[in-house]
Structure 1
Amino acid sequence: MEELAKEAGIPVRTVRFYRERGLISPPRREGRIAWYDDHHLARLRTIAGLLERGHTLTGIADLARTFESGRDVAEVLGLGEPTEETPVRLTPEQLADYFEGEVTPENLATALDLGYLAIDGDEIVHISRRLLKVSAELVREGVPLATVLAAGRRVREHADALAELFVTTLEAHGDKPEPAPLRPLAHAVVDAELSMALDRRLRRADGAAPPQESST
């Protein structure tokens, strides 16, 4: 414990306190010797980083429990499955920086449930650099992360339905569709239709009559 505290740059009593609170896992014991490893050191540095960002120890403990319940990265991303998305590796502190003040146990649990986040040792993996960037931009514009995640769940439902439509349409007129030609065709159709849908929606918003003022 003394060596671990020295590496982390904190007092031994702080390590002991964290251990008693369950913020770090028990050491591996060999007789009277307790062995701590890089995982314990990474957790102590994460605790320090989150404390600097305004999180409380109770909040950090809740985040840690949620984090540990997440699915493994191989389960979320799949092994050998084709994808156009680029995963992003993050420390818990970096994730907190992306969504300042919005990384709560509830939001973390939702993101893990959606499969946006996965766990790889002491790191968090976001499945898509593009989705991470857009989500962070929406939060910076004032949209709560909980609202962003709820919208993401709805988009996921529609995207799954569109993917099913494209695949079954092509399967009905040939063999199993190959990803190479399918992806650009699907992207082109969805991009065009979404662009026109946004045009229609914005025109309706611009042409809406202003609310009537009531006389008193």
Structure 2
Amino acid sequence: MEELAAAAGITVRTLRFYRERGLIPPPRREGRIAWYDDHHLARLRTIAALLERGHTLNGIADLNTAFESGRDVSEVLGLVEPTEEEPVRLTPQELADYFADDVTPENLTAALDLGYIATDGEEIVHISRRLLDVSAALVKEGVPLAAVLEAGRQVRAHADQLAGLFAELLRAHADEKDADRLRPLAKSVVDAELSMALDRRLREQ
């Protein structure tokens, strides 16, 4: 327990509290010895990332209960309908197959902080198959995963601003029932503008 707490950067008292709340699974026991493994550490890092993103311990406990009861992963991860993003479950080995040597503790922590991945028992849940495939493709082209994740962090800030702009536009000029129907049009505008912006940048270079 002391070693796990030190690796996670928390106190033993906090770890005991998490165990009592059922936020981490029980250890494997051999006689009087309790053994913790990488899955426990990954769960603790998930908890830390969720706390940093504003979740309460009660909310995290609800997420944990939802995972264990088999509720839909998109609901557990807070994906709001409608969404085109398909979460995907991976074993640690499957994740390593995607990113090879770039699956480092630092990159896993960054992905947890971004909310790209979460742990569910012995599995890892990635929030978007499309993001997973694109990230893996960039890494295979020689872009370090750390750079991909940092780019994702910056893109998210701009994407949130764009989403806010179009949400206000639709609220001001469309009925609520039309918002879902007009959503693809907003995405098409962003896609076209990004394409033209890339063309301009590439010509400049």
What range describes the TM-score normalised by the shorter chain of this pair? 0.5 to 0.7
Contact 2:85/2:127 (8 A) holds in 1: yes
Q: What pairs up with 1:105-144 in 2 under 5 angstroms?
A: 105-144=105-144
Contact 2:42/2:119 (8 A) holds in 1: no
Mark the structure with the bigger radius of gyration: 1
Contact 2:86/2:127 (8 A) holds in 1: yes
1:77 CA drift (Å): 3.4
Separation in 1, partners of 2:123, 2:81: 22
Q: Deviations over 1:88-119 (max 9, x none)?
A: 11011111111111111111011011111122
Q: Deviations over 1:161-193 (max 9, x none)?
A: 110000101212244364532321112101111
Query: Please, which runs of 5 or more residues in structure 2 have no aligned partner?
Result: 5-24, 51-62, 64-72
Contact 2:170/2:179 (8 A) holds in 1: no
> Kindly, what percent of the aligned residue pairs are identical?
59
Q: 1:177 to 1:199 in 2, by over 3 A?
A: farther
Which of structure 1's runs of 4+ aligned residues deviate more than 4 A? Answer: 19-22, 71-75
AA aligned opposite 1:26: P
Contact 1:88/1:126 (8 A) holds in 2: yes
Separation in 2, partners of 1:115, 1:134: 16
The equivalent residue for 2:155 is: 155
The alignment's C-alpha RMSD in Å is 3.3
1:81 CA drift (Å): 3.0
Q: Deviations over 1:110-161 (max 9, x none)?
A: 1011111122222111111111011011111111111100000011011111
* TM-score normalised by length of structure 2: 0.66
Q: 1:162 to 1:148 in 2, by over 3 A?
A: same
More helix by share: 2
Q: SS at 1:100's partner residue?
A: helix
Query: Please, which runs of 5 or more residues in structure 1 have no aligned partner?
Result: 1-18, 35-39, 44-59, 206-216
Q: What is the number of equivalent residue pairs in this alignment?
A: 161
Q: What pairs up with 1:67-78 in 2 under 5 angstroms?
A: 67-70=43-46, 72=63, 74-78=75-79
1:64 CA drift (Å): 5.3
Separation in 1, partners of 2:165, 2:3: 51
The equivalent residue for 2:91 is: 91
Separation in 2, partners of 1:90, 1:160: 27
